[in-house]
């Protein structure tokens, strides 16, 4: 639960050649053309077809801007609301990645004044995490899982400010739209323990972040 008023609470070169030589060249031309035609007919279809680029991952980095819907646990006494954020990721091989993400949301919450009355408070919440990402595939549709650690900073208009360590576990999917751009959906469950003055000291809290955004992948040499 949130802290009551008056108490402490937890909280990515040969055209010039002689005529005789020219005649020899012309006589040799039909067999050469026949050989070329035969090669074109019998070449495997996979060689003849142009290679399709499906988009996807290579070693490189990513940028991703996104919107969030934050669903706060009941004990936080905070209203669910929409926010936004930004991610930077580095792929050190086609499937494994390290990401740095930051997002924020402005919402409202209730505070007990100590006499049984609930007061409305404004809360600005910033969340930062460093996360590991494992991508199950490397192109087209890319599902993934992620886990990270970081901190959440809450600025409450009545209770003050508090910063707490967070653990995040999530999963998502990328849909590549071409060589570089992709759409990304993710759900992440976050856990933290309060330490006052906003959240009850030692009490566990949770909140969910559902995000959607557009990203860009830039391969490195």
| Higher-confidence position of 198 and 7 | 198
In this prediction, residue 113 has a pLDDT band, given cuts at 50, 70 and 90, of confident
The secondary structure of 177-190 as a DSSP string is -SSSEEEEEEEEEE
Does 43 have pLDDT greater than 80?
A: no
At 73 the pLDDT is 96
In this prediction, residue 28 has a pLDDT band, given cuts at 50, 70 and 90, of low
Does 76 have pLDDT greater than 50?
A: yes
At 34 the pLDDT is 58
Does 100 have pLDDT greater than 50?
A: yes
- Least confident stretch, 25-39, 67-81, 165-179: 25-39
Distance between CA atoms of residues 31 and 37, nearest Å: 10
CA distance from start to end of the chain: 51
In this prediction, residue 69 has a pLDDT band, given cuts at 50, 70 and 90, of very high
Q: Name the percent of the chain lying above pLDDT 70.
A: 75
Mean pLDDT taken over the chain: 83
Choose among 122, 125, 119, 118: nearest CA to 108: 122
Mind listing the domains of the chain with CATH numbers? 60-219 (2.40.160.20)
Contact 83, 70 (CB under 8 A): yes
At 32 the pLDDT is 53
Does 77 have pLDDT greater than 50?
A: yes
Does 12 have pLDDT greater than 50?
A: no
Strands 60-72 and 204-219: antiparallel
Distance between CA atoms of residues 77 and 102, nearest Å: 22
At 221 the pLDDT is 73
Run of H or E residues at 86: strand 81-91
pLDDT tens digits along 156-215: 999 999 999 999 999 999 999 988 899 999 999 999 999 999 999 999 999 999 999 999
In this prediction, residue 38 has a pLDDT band, given cuts at 50, 70 and 90, of low
* CA dist list (Å): 74 to 98, 159, 212: 31, 18, 24
């Amino acid at each position: 639960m949130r802290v009551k008023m008056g108490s402490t609470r937890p909280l990515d070169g040969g055209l010039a050649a002689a005529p005789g030589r020219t005649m020899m060249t012309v006589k040799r031309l039909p067999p050469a053309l026949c050989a070329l035609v035969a090669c074109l007919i019998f070449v495997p279809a996979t060689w003849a077809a142009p290679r399709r680029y499906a988009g996807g991952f290579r070693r490189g980095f990513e940028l991703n801007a996104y919107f969030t819907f934050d669903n706060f646990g009941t004990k936080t006494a905070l209203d669910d609301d929409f926010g936004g954020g930004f991610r930077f990721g580095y792929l050190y091989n086609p499937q494994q990645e390290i990401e740095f993400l930051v997002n924020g949301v402005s919402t409202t919450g209730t505070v007990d004044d100590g006499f049984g009355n609930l007061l409305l408070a404004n809360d600005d919440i910033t969340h930062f995490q460093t996360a590991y990402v494992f991508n199950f595939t490397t192109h087209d549709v890319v599902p993934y899982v992620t886990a990270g650690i970081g901190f959440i900073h809450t600025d409450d208009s009545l209770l003050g400010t508090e910063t707490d360590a967070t653990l995040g576990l999530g999963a998502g999917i990328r849909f590549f739209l071409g060589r570089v751009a992709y759409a990304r959906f993710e759900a992440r469950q976050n856990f933290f323990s309060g330490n006052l003055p906003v959240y009850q000291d030692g009490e566990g809290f949770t909140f969910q972040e559902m995000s959607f955004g557009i990203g860009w992948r830039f391969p490195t040499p």
